[in-house]
């Protein structure tokens, strides 16, 4: 079996395994804020950009798959095959006005593959998560002298399997499109029981939203060199509001002697409805980067989503508002061609971001901010790179009966970079 066939076989196995893993609720969050809307939205940055504040709309790299802007796929040269596979681990400390606790999550973060078709056309495909639910909140209260134990939990992931294409329309100008199939189920559960009174009925409720359909976004980039041979890149992306087929399920029941041989269950409601669609927001972004002497890259992005105009199974929740994200990053490479020093060939990165999320709760728009940093380590005797990054951030506040989340996130991305399409002179 040739080396190429082995690589293709490995890619297919990893891809199928990744899709199966995401389909099994590969949650990236333990946040109670994921109870609302479609859960916690994933960032569009990955790999190299994860350590640069998540920028990507205005960046072009010949050795990086940039799914944030499909126009960037044309940056890959005509003899290169790229595959990016990522893992992430996140520790979060939750704090309210009265209590605090922590939790950990470790997950797959993305899989993407890209290669050129012609000198003017490059393609990419892969799988990326769109949003996650993953929370567990337990409360104890008392009503009329009776203790009530309440439990709220949720889980699920919405995933996109995408196929992207970038086209060089004219010198220095490219357009791109990502088309995807999005699928997944998000569920929320509520449980109320009376631990000190066996004669009181427990209450149980589960709600789920299954979403599946096709969608797309568009991108453009323009790049040019200055007189001193530095490079400017400006880019933009646009995703129209799109409707997705949905199924809503609600089940409510009460039970006496739950968990025993004498359990008595009474179904209060069971609804399965496919009549409404879920409409996701208009989204757009703009970004730029400036590359100095092929050693320093500076960049910034702005990204907006109009969640206040969306519907979740035919309704617009009052707690949804527009989302804005601002990010900036820098990368430094001393000398990528250095023979004497391995660390001169490495890439050093850092970034910042600020976000007004799509949630408006208790009269407050939930916001977050953080810093990122990382390193790209070239692998021995290959063109491939190991990208390591860390993110330290904060979401929310303890004011207005809300929750503050302080987190540390580590990501590992393996960027395989192979030379393909070369005609061998010797076997």
Q: Going residue by residue through the chain, which has 427 residues, state the pLDDT in tens, using 9 for 90 and above.
A: 455 555 555 555 555 555 555 555 456 678 999 999 999 998 877 788 999 999 999 999 988 899 999 999 999 887 888 999 888 899 999 998 877 888 888 887 888 999 999 999 999 999 999 999 999 988 888 777 778 899 999 999 999 999 999 999 999 999 999 999 999 999 999 999 888 787 788 899 999 999 999 999 999 999 999 999 999 999 999 999 999 999 999 999 998 877 676 777 889 999 999 999 999 999 999 999 999 998 999 999 999 999 999 999 888 999 999 999 999 999 999 998 888 899 999 999 999 999 999 999 999 999 999 999 999 999 987 889 999 999 999 999 999 999 999 999 999 999 988 877 555 555 5
How many folded domains does the chain comprise?
Answer: 1
Q: Has residue 424 been placed in a domain?
A: no
Q: Has residue 100 been placed in a domain?
A: no
The answer to whether 127 and 162 are in contact (CB under 8 A) is: yes
Q: Locate the DSSP E strands across 56-172.
A: 80-95, 100-118, 121-143, 146-170
Model pLDDT, residue 13: 54
The answer to whether 174 and 168 are in contact (CB under 8 A) is: yes
Residues β-bridged to residue 367: 356
Cα angle value 387/50/412 (rounded, 5°): 35
Q: Has residue 409 been placed in a domain?
A: no
Residue with tokens 């393996």: 414
Q: Has residue 245 been placed in a domain?
A: yes
List the CATH number of the domain containing 119.
2.40.160.60
Q: How far apart are CA 234 and CA 384, in angstroms?
A: 27
Q: Has residue 324 been placed in a domain?
A: yes
Q: How far apart are CA 82 and CA 229, in angstroms?
A: 26
Model pLDDT, residue 1: 43
The answer to whether 260 and 285 are in contact (CB under 8 A) is: no
Cβ partners under 8 Å of residue 398, min gap 6: 95, 96, 97, 404
Write out the H or E segment, with its range, that includes residue 18: helix 3-23
Q: Which tokens sit at 218?
A: 């568009």
Q: Locate the DSSP E strands across 18-73.
A: 40-41
119 conformational bin, left if phi > 0, alpha if psi -120 to 50, beta if neither: alpha
Model pLDDT, residue 392: 97
Q: How far apart are CA 296 and CA 346, in angstroms?
A: 12
Q: How far apart are CA 142 and CA 131, in angstroms?
A: 35
Q: Has residue 94 been placed in a domain?
A: no
Which residues constitute the domain of residue 72? 3-85+110-383
Q: How far apart are CA 357 and CA 321, in angstroms?
A: 8
Q: Has residue 62 been placed in a domain?
A: yes
The answer to whether 81 and 115 are in contact (CB under 8 A) is: yes
Q: Which tokens sit at 388?
A: 């390591």
Look at residues 191, 189, 193 and name the one whose alpha carbon lies nearest to residue 256.
Answer: 193
The answer to whether 192 and 149 are in contact (CB under 8 A) is: yes
Q: Has residue 405 been placed in a domain?
A: no
């Amino acid at each position: 079996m040739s080396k190429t066939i082995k690589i293709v076989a490995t890619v297919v196995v990893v891809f199928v395994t990744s899709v199966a893993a995401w389909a099994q609720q590969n949650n990236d969050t333990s946040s109670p804020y994921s109870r609302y809307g479609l859960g916690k939205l994933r960032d569009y940055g990955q790999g190299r950009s994860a350590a640069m504040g998540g920028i990507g709309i205005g960046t072009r790299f010949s050795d990086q798959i940039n799914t944030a802007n499909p126009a960037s796929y044309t940056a890959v040269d005509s003899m290169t095959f790229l595959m990016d596979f990522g893992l992430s681990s996140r520790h979060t400390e939750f704090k309210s006005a009265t209590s605090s606790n922590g939790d950990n999550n470790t997950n797959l973060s993305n899989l993407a593959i890209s290669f050129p078709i012609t000198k003017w056309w490059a393609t990419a495909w892969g799988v990326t998560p769109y949003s996650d639910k993953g929370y567990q909140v337990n409360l104890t209260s008392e009503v009329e002298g009776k203790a009530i134990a309440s439990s709220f939990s949720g889980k699920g992931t919405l995933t996109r399997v995408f196929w992207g294409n970038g086209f060089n329309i004219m010198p220095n100008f490219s357009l791109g499109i990502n088309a995807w199939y999005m699928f997944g189920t998000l569920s929320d559960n509520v449980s109320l029981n009376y631990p000190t009174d066996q004669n009181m009925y427990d209450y149980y409720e589960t709600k789920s939203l299954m979403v599946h359909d096709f969608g797309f976004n568009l991108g453009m980039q323009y790049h040019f060199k200055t007189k001193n041979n530095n490079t400017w890149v400006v880019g933009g992306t646009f995703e129209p509001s799109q409707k997705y087929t949905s199924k809503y399920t609600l089940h409510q029941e009460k039970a006496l002697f739950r968990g025993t041989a004498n359990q008595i269950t009474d179904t209060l409601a069971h609804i399965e409805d496919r009549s409404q669609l879920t409409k996701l927001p208009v989204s757009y972004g703009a970004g730029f980067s400036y590359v100095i002497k092929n050693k320093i890259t500076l960049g910034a992005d702005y990204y907006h989503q109009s969640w206040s105009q969306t519907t979740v199974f035919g309704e617009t929740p009052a707690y949804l508002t527009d989302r804005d994200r601002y990010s900036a990053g820098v990368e430094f490479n001393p000398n990528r061609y250095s023979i004497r020093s391995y660390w001169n060939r490495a890439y050093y990165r850092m970034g910042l971001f600020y976000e007004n999320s799509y949630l408006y709760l208790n009269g407050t728009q939930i916001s977050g901010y953080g810093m990122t940093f990382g390193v790209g380590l070239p692998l021995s005797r290959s063109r491939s790179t190991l990208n390591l990054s860390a993110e330290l951030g904060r979401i929310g506040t303890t004011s207005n009966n809300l929750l503050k989340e302080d987190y540390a996130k580590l990501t590992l991305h393996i960027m395989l970079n192979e030379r393909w399409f070369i005609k061998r002179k010797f076997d």
